[in-house]
Amino acid sequence: MKRATFAAGCFWGVEVAFQDLKGVVDTKVGFMGGSTESPSYRQVCTDRTGHAEVVHITYDDSIIGYGELLDVFWSIHDPTQKDRQGPDVGTQYRTAIFFHDDEQRMGAEMSRGDLERSHRYARPIATAIERAGAFWPAEEYH
C-alpha cells in the first residue's frame, strides 16, 4: 500500500473524486503543510496556521498508479488559482501536491510540467509541490 496527499480546495469534494476509484483503499480528510500541531478546523479557517485542507489517500499501486491519481487531481479543480477554489478563499484552499517519496516528487513535477506545456490554461499553474509532513485528521463533526 502507498499513500498520496492532495490539496485542491474544500476537502469534501476532493475526497469524493478519489474514494470510489478502483485501487483506492481508504481516504481521510484533514490538514497538512502548516506549523500548528493538531490544528482544529476552526484554527485552520483563521488562515494563520499555514495548513491546507487535504485528502490523504491509501492506494494499492498494483491496481492504480500515482499517475492516474495525478490525472484525477488535475481534473477536479482549477490549478491556476493560488489560494482559492470557487467561492472558498484562503491559503487552506490552495492547490498542492504533497509527495511522500522522490518517485512521487518526480512524477508530480513531470505531470505539472506536461500540464503547463499543454497550454490548457491561460494562466500559469499555481500548484505547489511540497514534501508531505504530518497529517492531521479533521474532526468528525466537520
CA angle 33, 84, 13 (to 5 degrees): 80
> Would you call 10 a catalytic residue per the annotation?
yes
Residue burial 82-107, b: 16+ Cβ < 10 Å; e: rest: eebbeeeeebbbbbbbbbeeeebbeb
**C-alpha to C-alpha distance for 106 and 122, rounded to whole angstroms:** 24
Tell me the residue type at 15. Answer: E
**C-alpha to C-alpha distance for 49 and 133, rounded to whole angstroms:** 14
Active-site position among 10, 21, 76, 129: 10
Mind telling me the catalytic residues? Answer: 10
